[in-house]
Chain A
Amino acid sequence: MIEFKNVSKSYGSIKALKNLNITINNGEILGLIGHNGAGKSTAIKSLVSVIKPTEGEIRVDGLSLKENRVAIKKKIGYVSDSPDLFLRLSAMDYWDFIAGAYGLSDADKEKRVKELLKIFDLEDAVFQPIESFSHGMRQKVFLIGALLANPDIWVLDEPMTGLDPQAAFDLKELMRKHAGEGHTVIFSTHVLEVAEQICDRIAILKKGELIYLGTIQALKEMHPEQSLERIYLDMAGRKEENR
């Protein structure tokens, strides 16, 4: 279980996240939705220790993130919104390192890499530097890295960006399967259809504030005459222009 308790993050005078309170249960897929700059990545980065919240607390399985960073990081597999890290390494170098960090044995690493390579169709590129890859291929490298140790919690920041339809479909299947096994998946997206397809609940953020938390079904029932896109734009967009 993941709990965000009054989590805020400020950059100077700008409040990127304001008093976020969310509890995400095991076996759940939560979609974070919002415009650019709504605070989705800030929330995600706070959870994966890339940034430190200015206020509030994050707890994972009852443990405080502040006091148990390394232990909690071991439970999380994360894909960043910009897959431009470790560019000079080859894909295999990167996975070797990740396997070491998560304490995976060589045999387990090899088995898992083979499985994931088949899914993401990246066999021919494993010894090439990541910087030579297209956006989609880089995304696949970091997805494989995140899923390599099969951690309990998957935190994926816009994971579908750049993926081909087959890889996007397979990833959605993997996410469903992972949640079905009692694990947690949190991901951000701009594509409402994706959220509709796989999320158990969605959290809509606007200018750092949580403006909706619940199921898409419940949201639709609140506005029976409107499409999901219209509902979302009315809530998160520029109201006067969208009407």
Chain B
Amino acid sequence: MRWSMIKSLIRLNLVYSTDTATVDRIRKKQRENPNLNMSMRLIRTQLIVGTLFAAVFGIMLMFIDMKKNPEQFGIYGFFFVMVTFLQSFLVIFNVFYESRDMEGYRHIPVTTAEVILGKSVTVIMGTFFYLFPLIVIFFVMPFKAAPNIPLAVCFALTNTVLIPTGVLISAFVLINIIGATSVFQRHKKGVSAVLTGIVSMILGISFLALNPQLFIYDLLKNHTGLFEPYIKLLEFEASPTIKGAAVTLGPWLLISIFGILYTRKVILTNLYEQVSGSQSQNAGGKKHKLKVANEDTLKQEKNLKNMKQGFWKGRSLKRLLFKYNLGLLLDTTVLFQFLITPQIIMPLVMSSSIYQTSKYMNGIAIDWQYSIVAVVTGIFYAFMTSGMLHFIIISLDRENFNFIKSLPMDFSEYIMYKFRFAFVVQDIIPMAFIIGICVWLRIPYYIMLMVSLSFLFTALLICHRDFKSDYKHLDLDWQSVTQLANRGGSNIKKVLIFFLVIFLGTLFTVISYFISKEMSLELVRTISVLMLILLALISLSYHRMEVRFWKSQS
């Protein structure tokens, strides 16, 4: 094995373990300064962030009396094991599967062992951000808990080796088990997007779990089973016994040994072929060769079979468009940045304040008196969650956009279909969220209806505005979706607008609450209904105007 080759492979694979926006930013600088070393820049950033993060949590732990407060250590332990596992899962997936480069190494004079080692080191580097704090937490803990220094050193070293190894190896094994399934081999793109989307979402939400002000923290605290193993580990290292070692460190040892053996005997023997997509294993683990090595031949066979079965019969254009547009969304960044973050994480963050409020809502009857607040809340919520997908959905077409324009079909119909598709996909989650919260807080149906309608009418306005904005700044040559999101104004301006929306939204909600309290029930009801009618009129008129605009573009 050549170390220079492995270093070269690490440099290469760092691009896959880093987010596209960061890589694009460094490349821009590289164009101005060709001597800039991108890989060194990436490694340095990962090291700095990992060290900073480790230092912060290390210092925090120094001030915690763990013997008196084992729960806090338990939560920290669980949290960092979980996030390191999820992060390594993502990085392994990106470096081994999403990079789609395994096929490219075959003709190059580089051995399989070199490729796998190079990629594995890149994976470890990509997890520094969480791995460093994980190591620090389990390294510091024995010095706070163990009865004497020699034992503390011994436990610290054992923890440092065993726990990170167990976490990384189990992520590697899990991802390769998933990668070997026939479902994954058949629906690679869809499964990849869903998997990475879910993992990114959990990673995003998990940080909320460290904040005692949020309901996730309360939920976690009620599930002691999750962090009990780490409390037991703390107790064992405070007063060591053989039985304690078997119960606490034993499982980590078993996971590590099993993972290493499984990796050597099962995964590595087949990894190259599996990742390249030329061989697969079925869910039961029995090896069988798939006929996918010659994809062209297979596609021909499949098309022939489909044609014989009358595959195209009855397939409407709308159905094909739906499938096509759905395919555009099956990209991790699109899913996470434009759907999951605004649609799920944002409402979850907001739900914590609703949760706090709900504690004080016992005994308060929500009725028509709160209908203006309901309308304002719907408007505010639409501003928080709508429009992002519409801002990119046309540009996502890339060169297909011009090609579709050349087809003998009505352009305005195509574009309006895109609009409706994005509207449904984007607003289905916030709508479900509104209904869920209303049911949970036992809010009357008419208030729920008012929030929903004001949300929908406002969302319609915002989506039309952003949709047109995408067309105005159309970019069919983009390299990363982040590039699309950054069009039409500086990032600072966008962040300021976002905070202004939050500020104004909160302000108007509070004002509407106090004004409503001072008014008679009849007046509140009349004003809220009038507000809703006015909103509907504005929204639907704007919708008609936009439809006319798109027709004029045909």
Contact = CB atoms under 8 A, between A and B. Distances in A.
Instruction: Judge: A and B partners, yes or no.
Output: yes
Contact of B31 (A14, A71, A127): A127
Nearest to A71: B109
Q: Could you say which of B104, B109, B301 has the most chain A C-beta atoms within 10 Å of its C-beta? A: B109
Chain B interface bracket (under 10, 10 to 19, 20 to 34, 35 or more): 35 or more
Interface string A36-72: 1100001000001111000000000000000000110
Nearest to A142: B104
Interface stretch (B11-19, B236-244, B540-548): B11-19
A97 B101 contact: no
Interface of A: 11-12, 14, 16, 36-37, 42, 48-51, 70-71, 73-74, 76, 78, 80, 85-90, 93, 96-98, 100-102, 126-129, 131-132
Contacts of B12: 86, 89, 93, 97
Q: Could you say which of B23, B30, B278, B293 has the most chain A C-beta atoms within 10 Å of its C-beta? A: B293
Interface in B1-46: 4-5, 7-9, 11-12, 15-16, 20, 23, 27, 30-31, 34, 38
Q: Across chains A and B, which 6 residue pairs bring their CB atoms closest together, nearest first?
A: A100-B8, A85-B104, A48-B107, A73-B109, A12-B291, A74-B109
A11 B291 contact: yes
A76 B107 contact: yes
Contacts of A37: 296-297, 300
Given A85-B101, A127-B30, A49 B106 contact: yes
B108 A11 contact: no
Nearest to B104: A85
B294 interface: yes
Given A85-B103, A101-B109, A101-B110, A11 B293 contact: yes
Nearest to A75: B109
Given A73-B109, A88-B15, A102-B109, A50 B103 contact: yes
A86 B12 CA distance: 9
Contacts of A78: 107
Given A85-B101, A88-B16, A100-B5, A93 B11 contact: yes
Contact of A11 (B5, B107, B110, B294): B294
Nearest to A11: B294
26 contacts: A11-B293, A12-B291, A37-B296, A42-B294, A48-B107, A50-B103, A50-B107, A51-B293, A74-B109, A76-B107, A80-B107, A86-B104, A87-B100, A89-B15, A93-B11, A96-B8, A97-B8, A97-B9, A98-B108, A100-B4, A101-B5, A102-B109, A128-B27, A131-B479, A132-B477, A132-B479
Contact of B294 (A14, A48, A90, A101): A14
Contacts of A97: 8-9, 11-12
Contacts of A16: 294, 297
Interface in B100-159: 100-101, 103-104, 106-111
Given A11-B291, A73-B107, 13 more contacts: A11-B297, A42-B294, A49-B107, A50-B103, A50-B106, A86-B12, A87-B100, A93-B15, A97-B9, A98-B108, A128-B27, A131-B479, A132-B479
A101 B8 contact: yes
Nearest to A131: B479
Contact of A129 (B27, B289, B293): B27
B99 interface: yes
B396 to A, nearest CB: 15
A74 B477 CA distance: 36
Q: Could you say which of A37, A51, A100, A129 has the most chain B C-beta atoms within 10 Å of its C-beta? A: A100
A88 B17 CA distance: 11
A170 to B, nearest CB: 23
Nearest to B20: A88
A96 B27 contact: no
Contact of A70 (B16, B109, B297): B109
Contacts of A129: 27, 479
Nearest to B31: A127
B305 to A, nearest CB: 14
Contact of A101 (B16, B108, B297, B477): B108
